[in-house]
Each structure stands twice: as C-alpha cells, then as structure tokens.
A and B are shown apart, each in its own frame.
Chain A
C-alpha cells in the first residue's frame, strides 16, 4: 500500500518537475513547482515526518511561492512566451549532461542500498511528533539551530539596510 503511494508521489514529482522546466509561461512553471512541493510533502508523510510535510507546504508552497508569483505577475508574461527560448548552448549542455550522468552512474554503481538507518536520536514511537522534534532541536542540535537563526537575522538586517537606502534616496 505504502509502496503504491510512494510511486504515485515520486512519479508525480518527476512529471510535474519535467513539465515545470519545459513551460514557456513562467506562471505555469511556478504553479507546477507548487504541485511538485505537494508531492514532496506526500513523500515526507510516508516517511513519517508529517511535521516536515506541513512545514514544506506552509513555507514553500504557502509562503515563498506566493512571493514568487507576486513578482512574476508584475511582468509582461506574453512577451516572454513569444520570445524564442534558445541560447545556442546546446552542445555545452549536452556534454555537461553526459558528464553528470556518468558521474552519477560511477558513484551509484558500487552502492548497495541499505535498509533505512535507525538514528540514535530516533523520533520514537510517534515519528514526526512535534515534542520529539523540539526536544532534539533544543538539546542535541542546539548549536546548528542557533547558527541558522543568526544567519537568518543577518540576512534580515541586510535586507532592511538595502531597502532603507533606496527609500532615503
């Protein structure tokens, strides 16, 4: 049962992301990316990380993608659609893709996929549980957590400084 759902979600993800990169209309591409996020959230739920799935939808789909759409909507999409999407880089892209494919093949060739590893900080009987996640985040991973928050704070201050300069001018 779970396997069918996994194939459904991962297949959906592959199809929507392929459609996303082939659309000429940017709005359609953005909406397809949202759909990809949904399938990804589905895979998170299957993996027992329902909190992560909800964060995925709340932040990426409900927050960041709305801001993307917000800025895309302000440009003239029709001109972009009519423009010919060709940058004379076909050969370079082909070589790069072949090299990347070989690299991935070389890395994955010798790997035996093991059973899912049981981490020592396992989230316990009810995985994805908010309490367990909070406990792990504020004990075992306190330092990385604080580093990430300082990084975000710095980015926020930087954004305010940049925005303020243009207003004053």
Chain B
C-alpha cells in the first residue's frame, strides 16, 4: 500500500508542476513582449483584457485552433516526433529540480549530472525537425543549432564543475545546503559568467538565437511547423529557460535559501531569484544584437574554453591550499 501512496503523491506533484510550468510559460511570454515593447518605447499587447493580460490565453487558443500543416515532402514520422522530442527532455528535467526545502518531485544523488544528460537530448528534436521538414532553411537552422548546442554544452558542463568541487555533491539539495553561509557566485565568478553565457546559447536565446535567425533563415528549424507543433517548440524553449535559470540559482545563488534576517519561505526566495534571472534574459534580448556564426564559435572555443579550464585548475589549487 505504501508504494501506491508514494506513486499517487508523485503523480499529484508531477501534475501540479507540469500545469504550473505551462501557465507560467504563457505569462513569461506576455512579460517578455511587454518588457521588450517598453524597451523600444512601444506599449506591447493592450487589447485583450486589462493591459493585454488575457493575451497569452488568446494566443494559446489561436495556436490550438490553427490548421496543422505537414508538408507533402516531409518525413511524416520524424516530422511529428520532433516537437515531442524537444518538449519531453525539457519537462523530464523538472523531476529533480528543488523548488523549496520540501517541494520537489524526487532527489537523486547524480541530480546535476542527470540534468546535463537529459537536457543534452533537446538538440535531437531540433535536428529531427530541421531534417524532416525537407526545406533548405530548416536544414541550415538545424545544422547551426547542432553545432552550437554541442559546443556550448561542453562549456556548460565544465562551468558547473567549480561549484561542484566546492559543494562536494551532485545532489541539488545538498548543493543548496552547502551555500547557507556564502553564495558560490562569490567564490566562482568566472564559472558563473561562463555558465550564464553557455546557458543563453543552450536555450537558443538572443544574442545566440542563430538557429532561428529570422533575418536569414525565415524561422530556422521550425519554419515548416504550424499550430500546436509550433507551440511545442515555443513551450520547450521557455521551459528550458526556467531549467537553466533554476540550475544557475541552485549552483551560484543559494537555491531556495535566502538571508536569515528576512524571514520569507523558501519557495518565495526561489520565485524572486527566478524572476530576476528571467528579467535579465529578456533584457539581454532587447539589448544585444545577434552574434555571427564564426564569432559564436570563436568566443566559445578560444575564450570561454580556456577560461573555464583555468577556473577548474584554480578551484582545485585554492581548495587544496585553504580547505
């Protein structure tokens, strides 16, 4: 009976997390449109509801009712599977994210490694989408995306090693506990900068949104997609943004723990930190121009890679000397 109860509790938690994430994604898109609009001296969505507050729901309905087109020359099976392949890894990762001291779906002792492994699968969906569409624009977008995500995954993986060495565990809750005195961002500033840049590239956000560069490639890998399948790609992009932000918060900003002198519950701290992260993502999109492809690769391999290696070496050296 115990096992049935456990499964029921887990199922309820999964249900809550999935639905909340989808709703939050819809409203993040609304916030993004508003922030970018104001950055460009516009008003943004204003028509549906007070200051356009119902706009995400209207958009969702529109996408849901749109005709779902599968191109004649497309590889049907792969074309249909691609959006699923993007969305599933993005949501599976939520299984190990710690939202507060008590609210999480599960804890495993390779938590961080699990996140890296699963999120490395998202690129498959993009590559499949680009190839199955049987269109030049899609294929070019997919190729760019595969190269970009593979390279930046390496920097992302190496940048988390520094905080891991300090925490001495891959369990995300234990990493949070290890930072109850000082946030790791003060010990690991280089790692944080590399992590943040790599995270932006991994989620295909501006200034690294080359796979969907609309000025050159129409819409990159999802040019041929419409309706709900297009919405899946959108949903996965924002779900991934939440994941990398949460990992950044856990590794460098003390997770759901806040300073002791302000008594707020852990979940509130988590939401506050997450909001800051998301705002910075949106802010950078409104500010920075897109990288060129060769610039992207040069910055990655010739600047960030040596930097992150140096960081691992320095962390090990200083830890050996002082701890």
Same assembly: yes
| Interfacial chain B residues near A24, Cβ < 8 Å | none
Residues A62 and B123 in contact, CB atoms below 8 Å apart: yes
Question: How near does chain A come to B198, taking the closest CB pair, in angstroms?
Answer: 15
Task: Give the size range of A's interface with the partner.
Answer: 20 to 34
Pick the most buried of A31, A65, A128: most chain B CB atoms within 10 A of its CB. Answer: A31
The answer to whether B127 and A50 have CB atoms under 8 Å apart is no
Task: Flag if B150 contacts A50 (CB, 8 Å).
Answer: no
Given A51-B113, A66-B150, A126-B109: A58 touches B128 (CB 8 Å cut-off): no
The total of Cβ contacts below 8 Å across the A-B interface reads 70
Cβ B170 vs Cβ A130 within 8 A: yes
Contacting pair A66 B113 (CB below 8 A): no
A62 and B128 within 8 A (CB): no
Classify the secondary structure of A's interface with B.
helix
0/1 interface trace, chain A 56-68, chain B, CB 8 Å (1 if under): 0110011101110
Q: Is B127 within 8 A of A62, CB to CB?
A: no
B120, A58: Cβ atoms closer than 8 Å: yes
0/1 interface trace, chain B 203-234, chain A, CB 8 Å (1 if under): 00000000000000000000000000000000
Interface residues of B (CB under 8 A from A): 75, 77-78, 108-110, 113-114, 116-118, 120-121, 123-124, 127-128, 130-131, 139, 142-143, 146-147, 149-150, 153, 170
Q: What 19 additional pairs, Cβ within 8 angstroms, besides A28-B77, A58-B113?
A: A31-B128, A34-B124, A51-B110, A51-B113, A54-B113, A54-B114, A57-B120, A61-B120, A62-B123, A63-B153, A66-B123, A66-B127, A66-B149, A67-B150, A69-B131, A73-B131, A73-B142, A74-B143, A130-B170
